[in-house]
Structure 1
Amino acid sequence: MIPALALYGIEKRFGPTPILRGVDLAIEPGERHALIGPNGAGKSTLFNLIGGGARPNAGRIHLFGADITRLAPAAIARRGLARSFQRTSVFARLSVFDNLRCAAQLTERDRTRWWQRLSGAAAIDARAAEVLDAVGLGARRDVAAGTLSYAEQRALDLGIALAGGAHTLLLDEPTAGMNRAEAARAIELIRDTTAGRTLLMVEHDMDAVFAIADRISVLVQGRIIASGSPATIRADAGVRAAYLGERLEQGSAARAGDAADDGARR
């Protein structure tokens, strides 16, 4: 089977400083894959290369077998790969529905000639409405996107990618900045809406990683040191020593603190 997303020997330097040191990674169609690692490991740089925001110094990036290494972001998006950023990228002055409609219209534009688009408005509206309900923003349909809460804007970001017809999604820290309840809803939303799609996610919240990912890769100092199922990664002594043990301990301490706060309020 041809991988949905494949990286071959990816290297990236900024001046004399190496950031990525020969990254190889293959993600199967429909797989939900998490990329974890400490700050400065090169995760954001790798995302930027995949999305076309920069070029690697060496190596190739393939999307369903097609070489996209040197394509511009717009050309990559037209091939079905969408990326969300750590900061939301919605059109703040447009309504929630119109944000989704714009994404759906761009997809329709690629499939039809100009005289056919006039008759395609109903299909565009139907697609936008379908995604609106899927991301749980039906009640916010007509409000300006800029007035949404942060968690709602992240949901809209995801909806824009879905309305645009993306089959491969890059999610950059999708639960960052959320409280526990918001993060739990975001995790459920991602699991529900990405079923059947290929997902590569960078995330520091280990609860989110283990709840969403089918497979996990660990990036440390620009190299992938391990890849495997969540259970395999959790049990890997090298991963725990390099990164995961510290994160699990931090997560346990945070959960213990939350429990203590809940008890005190009672």
Structure 2
Amino acid sequence: MSIALQLRGIEKRFGATPVLRDVDLAVRAGERHALIGPNGAGKSTLFSLIAGAQRASAGRIELMGEDTTRLSCAALARRGLARSFQTTSVFARLSVLDNMRCAVLASRRGWGGCVDRWIGSRHVDARATQVLEAIGLSAFAEHAAGMLSYAEQRALDLGLALAGGAHTLLLDEPTAGMNRAESARAIELIRSVSAGKTLLIIEHDMDAVFSLADRVSVLVQGRVIATGTPEAIRADAAVREAYLGSGVGQ
């Protein structure tokens, strides 16, 4: 199986303080890979490095075999990488449809013709409408995004990441702040819309992780201490001691 995302010897330091230490990680094309670990382990920092928002102090990042270690967020988006954040990033005063139009426009390569770039372009609208249908928000297309419920705004966030047709998705705690029912619906939505794509997800809800992920990597104190199937991670004594707790799976 080909590798969509490869990290080799990644390190990140802030001054003299190490945050990530010799991180190796391989995410297979088309798999759903979860990254878990306690608060402060370096998970969000690692996402920022992968997405081009920060630069690694050492090491190499590859996307579909290309060295992307020094590329910007925009350059990575054009190469098929999309990221959602822990907090919602929608334009509250714009309609849901206009939010999606903006995301589609931002993902397009080059400027093309003026008509094709215009927010009312039939190509932009067709893609925006398609994504809204996929995430179940078609009925709210003309509503202001700020009027959506929290769970619906998180779904819109996911749609914004999908709008450009990315093949690799980074989702940072997509169920944070949701109740159990909302979290379950969010996971089913992610499962549906990520089919055929590569997914790397940070998530603290272990039920969500173990129901969604094909493989799980555990980051503790800036190091990956284990990678394996959900069943293998559940049974790993070092993981249980470092993070999950002795009661997991009992």
Q: TM-score, normalised by structure 1?
A: 0.89
TM-superposition CA deviations, 1:158-178 (whole Å, max 9, x none):
101111111111100010100
Residues 67 and 29 from structure 1, CA distance in 2 versus in 1: closer, same or farther, beyond 3 angstroms? Answer: same
Supply the AA of the counterpart residue of 2:28.
E
Query: How much does 1:79 deviate?
Result: 1.1
Deviates more, 1:22-31 or 1:119-128: 119-128
Distance in 1, matches of 2:189 and 2:124, equals 22
Q: Is the Cα contact below 8 Å between 1:68 and 1:76 reproduced in 2?
A: yes
Following the alignment from structure 1 to structure 2, what is the Cα–Cα distance between the partners of residues 106 and 242? 41
Determine the structure 2 residue equivalent to 1:225.
225
Number of matched residues? 249
Q: How far apart are the structure 2 equivalents of 1:124 and 1:116? A: 10
In the other structure, the counterpart of 2:89 is 89
Matches within 5 A, 1:173-212: 173-212=173-212
RMSD: 1.8
Identify, as 1 or 2, the structure richer in helix: 1
Partner of 1:110: 109
Q: Aligned equivalents of 2:155 and 2:246: distance in 1? A: 29
Contact 2:115 2:121 in 1 (8 A): no
| Deviation of 1:123 (Å) | 2.3
Note the C-alpha offset of 1:116: 6.5
CA drift at 1:5:
0.5
The answer as to whether partners of 1:10 and 1:21 remain within 8 angstroms in 2 is: yes
Distance in structure 1 (CA, Å) of the matches to 2:14 and 2:247: 28
Q: CA deviation at 1:103?
A: 1.6
Q: Is the 8 A contact 2:90 2:153 kept in 1?
A: yes
Q: Which amino acid in structure 2 is aligned with residue 227 of structure 1?
A: T
Unaligned runs of 5+ in 1: 253-266
Q: Which amino acid aligns with 2:212?
A: I
Q: Identify the residue that residue 80 of structure 2 maps to in structure 1.
A: 80
For 1:77 and 1:247, the matched residues in 2 are separated by: 41
1:57 maps onto 2:53 in alignment = no
Q: State the Cα distance separating 1:150 from its structure 2 match.
A: 1.1
State the shift of 1:248 in Å: 3.4
Q: Deviations over 1:66-94 (max 9, x none)?
A: 11111111111111111111111111111
Amino acid at match of 2:113: W
Q: CA deviation at 1:125?
A: 1.3
Deviations 1:56-115 (A, max 9, x none): 1100111101111111111111111111111111111110011112222333x3166225
Q: Is the 8 A contact 1:206 1:248 kept in 2?
A: no
Gaps of 5+ in 2: none
Secondary structure at 2:60 match in 1: strand
Query: Per-residue displacement from partner, 1:131-174 (whole Å, max 9, x unpaired)?
Result: 11111112211111111111111100110111111111110001
Q: What letter is aligned with 1:36?
A: I
Aligned-partner SS, 2:83: strand
Larger Rg over CA atoms: 1
Say which SS state the counterpart of residue 4 (structure 1) adopts. strand
Match of 2:134 in 1: 134
